[in-house]
């Protein structure tokens, strides 16, 4: 039985936002834009965090960007959809897969465990055009890593189609008025269909469209193009699924093997091994640390989660760094200084550790130590304007009379 939840999943720059906006045009639907509930399920006061983050990103006040005030600000991440379902008939989240994000290995585990009877809409895009667009958005990521995000979205799509009962697919190049109208029918909603146009797959020369791509990536991109073309031409715009030319199980086994083989050739991990033990990078408490790092919002529950995380992952410099920031905000100076020291010892970015420790040392009046930290920070990142200002301030106030 359909539980009323809808999740949109696809690699970055593949039409997930267009699909999310279309669904949110229906008055009885609310789909978050990258709330990442599969990862942030343990974040306390999630609506407060989500709205603060959106405000800091200067997103417009539109459905999906912010959670409405009818929702309690104290709800945990895993309680948000249940809260929204009191006001909207269909609720969900939009997931855009990025390159090299280990926490995204948790997607299958989360949705298959907690949302088995939900509706899923996967989107994917011609791989050369997808890589070209993703590279503009993520200029520091390698083509191999970006191709990994493309492969990961397809690997998840195959897995979801094989296991779960309500999975639809919309290739970005096949999005049209007719397809969106069919989606309305499948979901039982009235999203606004307004002039969507079919965009045939762009016939781009990979060497021209992707400057600097290496021979290994080009070879695997060619394999991805073959996978894409086969899927594209077997997709049916009425069922929003694929027309199998053979036994369905064999069909998905073939693509699963092709996707996994391509990822291995690029030395990428796109799928979670069975019963992957907890690691620092995929422990969901880390999402609370991320949330604090993004917004600076803090309450006692957030602090307790950070402390328990550091206890379990005592050699994670990032955990010590965020805990130090939390303790400094609570004016617990000595414990904060100890965790800053541990953050350095366990390899967290020395610029950020020394910059923020210098701020704390300045506040408590230890100007010689603050000066040493901020001088080191400025040497590591001379273009950071606030670091330069802090250096001048410490020099001025802390100079001997």
Tell whether 272 is covered by a domain. Answer: no
Rg (CA), the chain: 24
Tell whether 123 is covered by a domain. Answer: yes
Rounded to a whole number, what is the distance in angstroms from the first to the last CA of the chain? 76
Number of domains comprising the chain:
2
Q: Tell me, what CATH number does 38's domain have?
A: 3.40.50
Lowest mean pLDDT among 33-37, 87-91, 125-129, 204-208: 204-208
- 388 and 361 within one domain: yes
Tell whether 218 is covered by a domain. Answer: yes
- The Cα 200–Cα 174 span in angstroms is 7
Q: Which pLDDT belongs to residue 109? A: 92
Question: CA-CA distances (angstroms) from residue 373 to 257, 329, 356, 368?
Answer: 51, 19, 9, 9
According to DSSP, residue 45 is labeled T
Q: Which pLDDT belongs to residue 278? A: 78
- The Cα 268–Cα 263 span in angstroms is 5
Lowest mean pLDDT among 46-50, 196-200, 211-215, 320-324: 196-200
- 368 and 286 within one domain: yes
Tell whether 151 is covered by a domain. Answer: yes
Q: Tell me, what CATH number does 324's domain have?
A: 1.25.40.10
- 85 and 183 within one domain: yes
Mean per-residue pLDDT over the chain, rounded = 93
Q: Under a CB-based contact definition with an 8 Å cutoff, are residues 107 and 204 in contact?
A: no
- 285 and 261 within one domain: no
- 289 and 260 within one domain: no
Tell whether 273 is covered by a domain. Answer: no
- What is the mean predicted confidence (pLDDT) over 330-336? 96
Q: Under a CB-based contact definition with an 8 Å cutoff, are residues 319 and 306 in contact?
A: yes
- What is the mean predicted confidence (pLDDT) over 276-286? 87
- 333 and 248 within one domain: no
Q: Under a CB-based contact definition with an 8 Å cutoff, are residues 180 and 193 in contact?
A: yes
According to DSSP, residue 237 is labeled T
- 54 and 25 within one domain: yes
- 129 and 20 within one domain: yes
| End position of a domain, from candidates 223, 239, 265 | 265
| End position of a domain, from candidates 216, 233, 265 | 265
pLDDT exceeds 70 at position 400 = no
Tell whether 23 is covered by a domain. Answer: yes
| End position of a domain, from candidates 214, 236, 265 | 265
Nearest to 44 by CA among 20, 75, 69: 75
Q: Under a CB-based contact definition with an 8 Å cutoff, are residues 343 and 360 in contact?
A: no
- 218 and 339 within one domain: no
- 147 and 60 within one domain: yes
The residue assigned the tokens 């936002």 is 17
- 296 and 257 within one domain: no
**131: which residues sit within 8 A by CB, 6+ positions away?**
143, 146, 147, 150, 209, 210, 221
Residue 183 belongs to domain spanning? 5-265
- Which phi and psi (to 5°) does residue 95 adopt? -120, 120
The tens digit of pLDDT for each residue in 69-106 reads 999 989 999 999 999 999 999 999 999 999 989 999 99
Tell whether 53 is covered by a domain. Answer: yes
Q: Under a CB-based contact definition with an 8 Å cutoff, are residues 149 and 134 in contact?
A: yes
- 287 and 248 within one domain: no
Tell whether 271 is covered by a domain. Answer: no
């Amino acid at each position: 039985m359909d539980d009323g939840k809808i999740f949109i999943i696809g690699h970055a720059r593949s039409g997930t936002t267009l699909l999310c906006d279309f669904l949110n045009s229906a008055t009885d639907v609310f789909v978050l834009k990258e709330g990442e509930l599969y990862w942030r399920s343990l974040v306390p006061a999630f609506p407060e965090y989500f709205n603060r983050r959106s405000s800091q990103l200067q997103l417009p006040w539109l459905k999906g960007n912010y959670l409405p005030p009818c929702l309690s600000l104290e709800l945990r991440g895993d309680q948000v959809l249940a809260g929204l379902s009191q006001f909207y008939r269909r609720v969900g989240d939009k997931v855009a897969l990025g390159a090299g994000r280990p926490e995204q290995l948790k997607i299958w585990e989360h949705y298959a465990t907690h949302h088995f009877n939900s509706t899923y809409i996967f989107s994917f895009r011609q791989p050369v055009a997808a890589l070209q667009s993703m590279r503009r958005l993520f200029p520091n990521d390698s083509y191999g890593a970006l191709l990994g995000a493309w492969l990961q979205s397809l690997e998840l799509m195959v897995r979801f189609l094989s296991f779960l009962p309500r999975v639809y697919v919309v290739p970005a190049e096949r999005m049209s008025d007719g397809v969106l109208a069919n989606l309305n029918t499948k979901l039982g909603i009235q999203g606004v269909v307004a002039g969507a146009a079919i965009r045939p797959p762009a016939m781009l020369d990979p060497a021209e469209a992707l400057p600097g791509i290496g021979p290994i990536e080009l070879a695997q991109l060619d394999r991805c193009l073959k996978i894409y073309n086969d899927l594209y031409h077997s997709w049916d715009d009425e069922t929003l699924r694929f027309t199998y030319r053979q036994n369905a199980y064999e069909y998905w086994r073939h693509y699963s093997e092709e996707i996994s083989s391509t990822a291995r050739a690029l030395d990428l991990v796109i799928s979670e091994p069975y019963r992957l033990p907890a690691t620092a990078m995929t422990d969901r408490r880390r999402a609370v640390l991320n949330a604090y790092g993004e917004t600076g919002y803090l309450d006692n529950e957030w602090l307790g989660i950070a402390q328990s995380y550091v206890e379990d992952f005592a050699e994670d410099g990032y955990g010590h760094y965020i805990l130090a920031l939390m303790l400094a905000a609570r004016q617990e100076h000595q414990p904060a200084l100890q965790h800053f020291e541990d953050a350095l010892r366990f390899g967290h970015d020395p610029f950020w550790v020394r910059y923020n420790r210098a701020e704390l040392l300045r506040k408590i009046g230890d100007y010689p130590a603050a000066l040493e930290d901020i001088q080191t920070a400025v040497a590591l990142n001379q273009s950071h304007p606030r670091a330069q200002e802090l250096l001048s301030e410490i020099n001025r106030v802390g100079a001997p009379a």
